[in-house]
Every structure is written in C-alpha cells, then in structure tokens.
Amino acid sequence: MASLSPLPKIFSQNPHVHANLHDHLRNPNVIYRNLSFSGLGFRCSQHASIGETRIVRKSSNQTEVMIESATQVFDVPLLSCSEAIERLKTNRETQNVKQPFLAMYSSVFGGITTDPAAMVIPIDDHMVHRGHGVFDTAAIMDGFLYELDQHLDRILKSASLAKIKLPFDRESIRRILIKTVSASKCRTGSLRYWLSVGPGDFQLSSSGCHQPALYAVVIQSESPFDSKGIRVITSSVPIKPPQFATMKSVNYLPNVLSKMEAEENGAYAAIWLDSDGFIAEGPNMNVAFVTKDKELLMPKFDKILSGCTAKRVLTLAGELVRKGELRRIEMRNVTVEEGKKADEMMLIGSGVLVRPVVQWDDQIIGDGKEGPVALSLLNLIFEDMKSGPPTVRVLVPY
C-alpha cells in the first residue's frame, strides 16, 4: 500500500488530531463516529440516522454547525467521458420527472438533442457562475407557439440591457426555436430559451468568453388553465431595483425566495411593493385589480417586467369594456389600500394565465370568491391561445 503523505504542520503537531486523522486517511471510505479534532475546535459526528454527518466548531460559548449533510460520500471516482455520460443517463432515468424535457438546442454543440442526459451546459458558461444571461418562455398549445414573436422581442431587449451580444440574427433564432419544438413533437407545453455571454472562464468580466450562446428546451406539461382562487401574502424579500426588474435575467434568487416565503406561509405567491410602497408584481407574474367602479387596474411597467401575457390580457379586456362588464382599463400606480379593497384581484402570467386571488394577507378580496371579470379574462386568453390570430399563434411544422 502506498505510504501516506506527511500531515500538514497544523495537524502533525497536534496530539489530539494525529492518531484519529491517520486512521481516517488510511481508510478514506470510512468516516468514524465522533471523530474528534478537539485541539482545533472541530468535531465530526455521525448521527443515529444513517448517512448523516455533522461537522461542528466549538467555542467557549457556542457551537456552530459548519457542514451538515444528509448524504455521506465515501468514494469519489475518476470517470472517463463515456462513464460520465453513462452516469448522466442513469441519473436521468431514475429521476421522477413531472415535466419531461423533450428536446434541447445548444449553440455550443450546434444542434438539437432529444436525450435528456445530453441536455447540459458548460460549467464555465458565465450564465452559470455569474448569472450573465437572460431568458424567456413561449407556451405551446395544440401545436402552435403562443406569442413567440412578442416573447422573442422581449428577450432581445433583455439581452441588450444585459450587454449580451447575439449569436445569430433574430430570424435565425426564431427558426431555431421553431425547429426545436418541431423535433420535440410536443403539442402542449412550453418552450424556454436563454441567451448567454457564453462559456470561457471563471472571471467576473465576460471579456474572456469565446462567443455568446443560445440554449432552448421544450418542456411537456399540461395547460396552465386553473380558475381556483388562491391566497397571496405581501413579500418581505426586497424587490429588485428597476434596472434589473425590467429585464428578464436568470438572476431569480429574490423571486425564488419570495415564492418560498409564500409557500412557507400557506400561500400561492408573495406580492412585491416598489420602493415607493405601491403594488409592483408577483415573483413571476403581474397583478391586476377590478375596482368597485368596474375599472381594471394594473401597475405600470416602468419599474417591473413588461408582461407579454399581461399586455395581451389588457388588449382582450377591451371586449369586456364593449360588453359593459368593465367601465375602463387603466395602468397606473396602485396603493395597497386600493388593492385590498378591490372587488377582484388576479395574477397574470404565462405560467398561470389569469388566476383569481381571493385573499391577500388577512384581507378577503371582494366576497371571497373567484371574480367574474377574472374568470372572463381567463376564458378569453385561453380561447386566444387556441384560436387567436396569426399575430399571436405560430404553427409548428412537425
């Protein structure tokens, strides 16, 4: 057996550490229960539950948990490329995926794959380790891409704001996206796509990136149509400043934490307020209200993301004005007091379409039931997805 390399000075001169650590290094596949490095103030203990290890640091007045893991790693093999690919395949096959990934395009490998194990991006892509990327989504309904051009225009605007150069011109990107959906054979789901400064290095600046990248994934899923009323809360997570909130970047940690906060409190989503205290948006949807005077109100897009679905809903709402169900439509600053006193409240976005809100914090909205205007708008947007004009529906050539 090969001899052990000398211990670092900090360990070799410490009698409390030397014996136990040498035993561990001779058999690295075993982590001993209650392995103590007391001279350094560290202790590694294995708890009663199998596979759980905690490394703690003790001081005179506190114990700080430094590492806590539910899974022990006893061996780290060195894999060949083919072995790594096989493990990727096995990992995908054993996952219980609720939304299958049917196809992916990557400009890095210059084509489309339908193997989920190959749907990966380089770790040195700055979108991964620096968040320097933008994305957007288009729904797939009955073999048509809904509002593809509207979402494509938005991602190009986001890319410009994020100083991301395009790997191809707009028409080429559009053709690639349509062809990716075609290759997937998906007729109901969503197309999500990203523009990144691309792979290159692990620096902060993108100057070392070789070329920008385009990625796209087709996700099979059921229609987001759901008319059941939901509860929301006010988010305590700070909203992104307008410079970043108005572009759809991959920096979604505030959005994620806001959504988690809602779920932890038994709610569907958390509503952000802007720096002036006006109602802003949800974590990934816009918000709208119907006043007692039958006005449809929506916060302006100057400090938040310009929602493609929200803008389409506002257009379709004109029919309700013509029918007399609404008196008028207005985009302006909306106070929390106005919102909570409204007859109706709703969330609007590609992932929810139009979702009635029946309670915000402790305030019941209206009569506590799904509002008629919200339900009418939900039906209008759903019918628009199924039979709207060519300006919002792009046929996919399967």
Q: Give the per-residue pLDDT at 112.
A: 98
Is the predicted pLDDT of residue 135 greater than 90, yes or no? yes
Collapsed DSSP state (helix, strand, coil) of residue 19: helix
Q: What does the block give as tokens for 349? A: 């976005």
The whole-angstrom separation of Cα 379 and Cα 189 is 18
Closest CA to 167 of 105, 248, 245: 105
Cα torsion at 75, 76, 77, 80 (round to 10°)?
160
Q: Give the per-residue pLDDT at 68.
A: 52
Is the predicted pLDDT of residue 149 greater than 90, yes or no? yes
User: What would the DSSP string read from start to end of 291-332?
Assistant: -TT-EEEE--TTSS---HHHHHHHHHTHHHHHHTS-SEEEE-
What are the beta bridge partners of residue 394?
145
Say how many C-beta atoms besides its own lie within 10 A of residue 79's C-beta.
11
Domains delineated in the chain: 9-69 (no CATH), 96-220 (3.30.470.10), 230-387 (3.20.10.10)
- Rounded to the nearest integer, the mean pLDDT of the chain is 87
Q: Which residues of 255-271 are buried (b: 16+ CB within 10 A; e: fewer)?
A: bebbbebbeeeebbbbb
The whole-angstrom separation of Cα 226 and Cα 229 is 9
Q: What does the block give as tokens for 43? A: 């202790």
Amino acid at 104: M
Q: What does the block give as tokens for 66? A: 């430094």
Is the predicted pLDDT of residue 41 greater than 60, yes or no? no
Closest CA to 215 of 256, 163, 176, 172: 176
Residues near 246 by beta carbon (within 8 Å), at least 6 away in sequence: 161, 301, 302, 303, 304, 305, 306
Is the predicted pLDDT of residue 339 greater than 70, yes or no? yes
Sheet holding 35-37, edge to edge: 35-37, 42-46, 53-58, 63-69
Q: Which residues are catalytic?
A: 248
Residues near 378 by beta carbon (within 8 Å), at least 6 away in sequence: 225, 227, 353, 354, 355, 356
Closest CA to 120 of 217, 191, 54: 217
Summarised one tens digit per residue, pLDDT across range 152-179 is 999 999 999 999 999 999 999 999 999 9
Q: What angle do CA 273, 279, 283 make, to 5 degrees?
A: 65
Among 16-20, 102-106, 110-114, 383-387, whose mean pLDDT is lowest? 16-20
Closest CA to 395 of 181, 243, 184: 181
Q: Give the per-residue pLDDT at 278.
A: 98
